[in-house]
Amino acid sequence: MNCIEIKNLTKKYKDVKAVDNLSFEVKEGEILGLLGPNGSGKSTTINCILSLLNYEKGEIKIFNTLMSPTAYEVKKQIGVVFQDVAVFDNLTVYENIDYFCGLYINSKEKRKEYIKDALDLVELNEFTNYYPKQLSGGLLRRLNIACGIAHKPKLIFLDEPTVAVDPQSRNSILEGIKKLRDLGSTIVYTTHYMEEVEILCDRIIILDNGKILATGDKDELKKLAKIEEKVTIEIMDLKKSHIKEIEHFPNVENISYENNTLQIVYKKGKNNVVELLEYLNQNKIKYNKIFSERPSLNDVFLYLTGKELRD
Amino acid sequence: MFWHNFKYTLKNLLKNKPLIFWTFAFPLILGNLFFLAFQDIEKKEQLEIFNIAIVEKEKTDHTQILKNAYMTFSEGESELFHIEYVSQEKAEDLLSDKEIIGYVILSENPKVVVSKNGIEETILKTVTESIVEEISLATTIQKEKIIDGLSKPEFDGNIEFLKIQVQKEVEEILKNTTVSLKDNSPTNLSYTMVEFYTLIAMTCLYGGMLTMTSINNNLANMCSTGKRIAVAPTKKRNVIFSSVLASFLVQLLGLALLFIYTIFVLNVDYGNKIFFIFLLSILGSLAGVALGCIIATLLKTNENTKIGILLAVTMSGSFFSGMMGITMKYQIDKNIPIINYLNPANMITDGLYSLYYYQTNTKFYFNVISLLIFSALLIILSIEELRRQKYDSI
Amino acid sequence: MIVFKTFLKVLNKNKGIILLYTLILLIFAYFNMENGETTTNFYAEKTDIYILLEDENIGLTKNLVDYLKSVSLVKEIKEEKLEDALFYRDVSMIIKIPKNYRIDTLNGINREIEIQSTGDYTASLEKMLLEKYLRIQKIYLNEQLEETKVIEQINETLNKKVTVELTSTLDRSSLSKAKLYFNFSNYAILAGLVFVICLMLTIFKEEKIKKRTLVSSLNYKKYNRILFLSNGLFTIILWLLYVLLGFVLIGKTMLSYHGLFFMINSFIFSMCALSIALLIGNVSQNKEALSGIVNVVALGSSFLCGAFVPMEFLPKSVVKISHVLPSYWFIKNNDLISNLEQISLKEVHPIITNFAILIGFIIIFSIGTNLISKKKLKQS
């Protein structure tokens, strides 16, 4: 069952295509990650889905209903957490949540209950009477989330909810999102932090220049990069001849040596480190640190676009 | 939903300190300053008694008459000045120390010495002139009467007696001839009232800031809270209407505060047409709301610029309707009336002024209608703009 | 140098609002001066009147009109604007000569001249002049009825002129214009300077910058001194701007010793405004509250000390209170300077005293600023 169906969505800002013939769907109960660098069209896509923006072409259906600004029944089921913190400075934490929740839910009793749940979820119970200005960046982000999800929507959009957040708050936020999924919500999550996507998302769409580059779960995507292992090793004064020899080891895709650091990328991930260490020992080459990694989504992005995902 | 949003808009506005300062406290502070600065200005428009000196240089036939004549101006109800009789040197000193306005040297032809030109100096000169004229007048009439008397059949040849008789007769004439003017001066001439009228006008229009702020909060292209409201399952019309209504209420609250303060603390007398004054002020606030609406919706710029524009419109409106100088309104009305026909601040000020000063209410209703047209026009334009649900960019 | 450069950078970043503010104040100063001449003219010698003539302009009536024209300033105003003209003191009196006034008066019927007046002192003067004329006319008419003879006699009587000697040769109108301009500059300097300097200070004091400057090798005292000098430089530039505008608007008078005194006075006052700005900037760290404080300080001292409404028109109690404000001494000095007849110890002495009082204010404000800033430094 699909929550959202998007067909051929195109949105232009003057002559620039921000979203280019985009088609995808969101399945019920999943966390879908929209991954892409800044300016790749993630927020624009979400704003189009929410009918905030005019678009040139395309069709957007949510819960099998054509989305429009007046599709109130659909809107009732949606919760949105925007990229910018969207709260009123002159209202307290509690009042802010109550205000936004009240746009969805009329019953005061029910609202009280819902607000409590939201406060529990984002762990802001101790701060109900604080004003936004008194909160740290992380707490503010949590409030931002609480305002978006207090009415228990079935479908939640989170647009970069962790920008400029300390690690502790970030973990709390990510945990909260998982909880929401476990409670039965479908989640669309945009970010340019690949680590978050890896931890969180069931399915990932990689966007660049308003186009979909790839879709799949993280393992499927990583296969795309056609590499399986990356070994980084610190060696003082490695001779050119040695580098040449290592380059011809099996499965080596790429090798680089800079600042006394050797990096080797392997196509397949079997026994590569053992073989390398043997070689180093035989040639009596001294090394310090060594570590091996599985490829990240950044490598996938790098492979697909030739540029880094990070800013 | 309507009242939910209404309640929170109220809360949001009342807790916004800078906004409340400008719409509530600032008019009160300004009102206080007007009160302190202007409370005496009209009293001081009237003449104050000033000091002069008289120097007797040479004694002539008229010296005593002259002195008596000056005396009449320094006593009684129509007292104009105090007189000191001094030597010439002393008079010069007094003048250079600004103790006296000027001095008169009594001689055959009295001479007035003053240090500068000014209204009090002119009065001294005028008084002296009229005294000299009076003497001349008396002499002329005496001469004629004596000639008359000489040619009359009952003249008995006693010229001295005739002279004395004529002199008495002339004195009687001079004493008993008075003239009266028909004084039709209007009663309500206190032009400092205009200051308070411009203050009300300014408060009404400043109130637009409240409407502007709350509409901005509801607009998806202005701020992120607006986006949140836009994705909520609420009719935009309802949200904005309830926000505007709440802002209007806050604005009326501020206005009420201004009235209460000026009436009960500053003792400003708005006259007996208080109902009309309230009516006009409420309409003025509506114009403020309309102004806030149009600036919030039509201009696509950040909030600070919007506030700047609203302040600039309000301040220049108040300027042209006489806030910084009461005669500015008159000069504009007289020379470039079109500015003030379009100026909402002037519609309010002029309406209140008409109530205060004119006998008829025609001009008051003209201003009422102007305000209604102004508000309706801006609100319709704003609604047209607000009907759009989606934006090209956010 | 770094502090100074940062200062210039911040100045440059905020040039929009600073220019706007300065421009508005300059425009207000200009308007105030142009308009002020008609509103509070202390050197009026003649009353502004309007003659509503319903009678034929011949004989007795014509003589009355001619007389009024000679002793007052007769204005041309559209009849429907007459009510407004009286209210706004464009004329102080409207004199209505009714129809058949001449005929009736010659026939011994008592016809009253109708007046509408504002009741101010120029109106009182006009009333005096008008009543005098009418009385003379009545006396002569009682003696004989021949119109031309009466007119001749009236005019002969009124012709008795009194010699008036003027001891001062000062150009009053130009000096009063200068006084008006410099009095208004009280508001402009306070509003403009205090606003800009406080803005700069709050930007500088914003926590991040504060910490960075505190830990940097720069000595705290030296940092403060450079910041003070930068603000001082800005003050001087702004002062020069106002003096320059003064030269443009007032002209020749500015080149006399009066001009020199006006300039010294406004310079000391600018420095005083600087010290006020530094004090406020140190007390308040809140950018939003700033424009409120500035407006209240500037408008308050301008209204209470006679920058807008001349001090002579203010209630005595207000004037008494305003002694505690520096603006009072500045404006008082402007008044003294505009009345300065010659450079003599007697006349210059009070001006110098006021200078000293203003400098005293500067010292008090500076000490206050230092105390507060030291206290704050310890707290953080």
Q: Where are the domains of chain B?
A: 2-41+192-386, 50-176
Are chains B and A touching, using the cut-off of 8 Å on CB pairs and a minimum of 3 such pairs? Answer: yes
SS3 C284: coil
Q: Same domain, yes or no, for A24 and A108?
A: yes
Of C46, C83, C288, the CB nearest to B18: C288
SS3 C216: coil
Report pLDDT digits (tens) over B327-360: 788 888 888 889 889 999 999 999 999 999 888 8
The answer to whether the CB of B354 falls within 8 A of the CB of B331 is no
* pLDDT score, position C39: 40
**Neighbours of A (≥3 Cβ pairs closer than 8 A)?**
B
B interface test, pick of C89, C122, C139 with most B CB neighbours within 10 Å: C139
**DSSP sequence for B1-29:** -HHHHHHHHHHHHHT-HHHHIIIIIHHHH
Residues of chain A contacting B224 with CB distance shorter than 8 Å: 82-86
DSSP B47: P
* pLDDT score, position C194: 83
In the block, tokens 């407006």 appear at C295
**Structural domains in chain C, sorted by start:** 7-40+170-379 (no CATH), 48-158 (3.40.1710.10)
Are chains A and C touching, using the cut-off of 8 Å on CB pairs and a minimum of 3 such pairs? Answer: no
Q: Same domain, yes or no, for A116 and A187?
A: yes
Q: Measure the CA–CA gap between C59 and C61, rounded to whole angstroms.
A: 5
Closest residue on chain B to A14 (Cα): B392
Q: Measure the CA–CA gap between B318 and B327, rounded to whole angstroms.
A: 12
The answer to whether the CB of C305 falls within 8 A of the CB of C297 is no
Between CA A123 and CA A132, with CA A128 as vertex, the angle to 5 degrees is: 95
Q: Measure the CA–CA gap between B167 and B141, rounded to whole angstroms.
A: 9
Q: Is A285 part of a structural domain of the chain?
A: yes
Query: Alpha helices of B207-321 — where are they, by DSSP H?
Result: 208-218, 224-231, 236-260, 274-298, 303-320
Of B126, B177, B181, the CB nearest to C113: B181
Residue that finishes a domain, picked among A223, A249, A278: A223
In this structure, the number of other CB atoms found within 10 A of the CB of residue B251 comes to 29
The answer to whether B337 contacts chain C (CB < 8 Å) is: no
Report pLDDT digits (tens) over B279-312: 999 999 999 999 999 999 988 777 777 877 888 7
* pLDDT score, position B174: 82
The answer to whether the CB of B102 falls within 8 A of the CB of B121 is yes
Q: pTM to 2 decimals?
A: 0.83
Residue that finishes a domain, picked among A176, A197, A223: A223
Nearest to B313 by CA among B283, B290, B337, B336: B290
Q: Measure the CA–CA gap between C43 and C39, rounded to whole angstroms.
A: 11
CA B392 vs CA A22, A55, A75: distances in Å: 18, 8, 20
ipTM of this complex: 0.83
* pLDDT score, position C41: 43
Give the relative orientation of helices B224-231 and B236-260 as an angle to the nearest 10 degrees.
130
Residues of chain A contacting B392 with CB distance shorter than 8 Å: 13, 53-54
* pLDDT score, position A27: 92
CATH of B50-176, one of 3.40.190, 3.40.50, 3.30.300, 2.40.10: 3.40.190
* Partners of A35 in the β-ladder: A191, A206
Nearest to B69 by CA among B128, B142, B153, B154: B128
Q: Same domain, yes or no, for A177 and A251?
A: no
Pairs from C353-362 (Cβ < 8 Å, separation ≥ 24): C354/C265, C354/C329, C354/C330, C355/C264, C355/C265, C355/C268, C357/C329, C358/C268, C358/C269, C358/C272, C358/C326, C358/C329, C358/C330, C358/C333, C359/C268, C361/C272, C361/C275, C361/C326, C361/C329, C362/C268, C362/C271, C362/C272, C362/C275
Q: Is A140 part of a structural domain of the chain?
A: yes
Q: Same domain, yes or no, for A198 and A141?
A: yes
380 residues of chain C, pLDDT tens digit each: 666 777 777 777 767 667 766 777 777 677 666 655 444 444 457 889 999 999 999 989 999 999 999 989 999 888 888 888 999 888 999 999 999 999 999 888 888 999 999 888 888 889 989 998 999 999 888 887 688 988 998 998 888 778 888 877 777 778 888 888 898 888 888 887 887 888 777 777 765 565 566 556 666 677 777 778 888 888 998 899 889 888 888 888 888 889 999 999 999 999 999 999 988 888 876 766 777 788 888 888 988 998 877 888 888 888 999 999 999 999 999 999 988 877 888 889 999 999 999 999 999 999 998 888 778 777 65
* pLDDT score, position C34: 64
**In which band, very low, low, confident or very high, does the pLDDT at B37 lie, cut at 50, 70 and 90?**
confident
Q: What percent of chain B has pLDDT over 70?
A: 100
Phi, psi of A285 (to 5 degrees): -95, 130
Report pLDDT digits (tens) over B237-251: 899 999 999 999 999
Q: Is A308 part of a structural domain of the chain?
A: no
- Give the A-side interface with B, CB within 8 Å: 13, 47, 50-54, 69-70, 72-76, 78, 80, 82-88, 90-91, 95, 99-100, 102-104, 106, 147-148
* Partners of B321 in the β-ladder: none
CATH number assigned to the domain comprising residue A247:
3.30.70.100
Which is more confidently placed, B348 or B101? Answer: B348
* pLDDT score, position A226: 75
Q: Same domain, yes or no, for A158 and A238?
A: no
SS3 B113: strand
Residues of chain B contacting C117 with CB distance shorter than 8 Å: 183, 185
Q: Measure the CA–CA gap between C133 and C95, rounded to whole angstroms.
A: 14
Of B26, B179, B325, the CB nearest to C138: B179
Report pLDDT digits (tens) over A111-158: 999 999 999 999 899 999 999 999 988 899 999 999 999 999 999 999
> What sign does the dihedral C290-C292-C295-C298 (CA atoms) show?
negative
Phi, psi of B209 (to 5 degrees): -60, -35
Report pLDDT digits (tens) over B188-211: 888 888 889 999 999 999 999 999
Residue that finishes a domain, picked among A188, A204, A223: A223
DSSP A15: T
Q: Is A299 part of a structural domain of the chain?
A: no
Domain that holds residue A270: 226-294
Q: Same domain, yes or no, for A15 and A64?
A: yes
* pLDDT score, position C313: 81
CA dihedral A91, A96, A98, A101 (to 10 degrees): 150
In this structure, the number of other CB atoms found within 10 A of the CB of residue A126 comes to 10
List of chain A residues with pLDDT < 50:
311
In the block, tokens 């945990």 appear at A175
Q: Measure the CA–CA gap between B92 and B115, rounded to whole angstroms.
A: 10
Give the list of residues 6+ apart from residue A104 with CB closer than 8 angstroms, or none: A76, A151, A153, B232, B233
CATH number assigned to the domain comprising residue A171:
3.40.50.300
Residue C131 CA, chain-centre distance (Å), reads 34
Q: Same domain, yes or no, for A209 and A261?
A: no
Structural domains of chain A, count: 2
Give the list of residues 6+ apart from residue C11 with CB closer than 8 angstroms, or none: C18, C200, C234
Closest residue on chain B to A96 (Cα): B8
Of C84, C124, C166, the CB nearest to B47: C124
**Is B261's pLDDT higher than 90?**
yes
Q: Is A307 part of a structural domain of the chain?
A: no
The answer to whether the CB of A181 falls within 8 A of the CB of A212 is no
Is C85 in Cβ contact with B179 (below 8 Å)? Answer: no
Instruction: Give the strand order in the sheet containing A287-293.
Output: A252-258, A261-266, A229-235, A287-293
Are chains C and B touching, using the cut-off of 8 Å on CB pairs and a minimum of 3 such pairs? Answer: yes
Is C162 in Cβ contact with B125 (below 8 Å)? Answer: yes
Is A91 in Cβ contact with B231 (below 8 Å)? Answer: no
Residues of chain C contacting B25 with CB distance shorter than 8 Å: 292
Closest residue on chain C to B328 (Cα): C35
**In which band, very low, low, confident or very high, does the pLDDT at B115 lie, cut at 50, 70 and 90?**
confident
Nearest to C242 by CA among C25, C34, C32: C25
Q: Is A303 part of a structural domain of the chain?
A: no
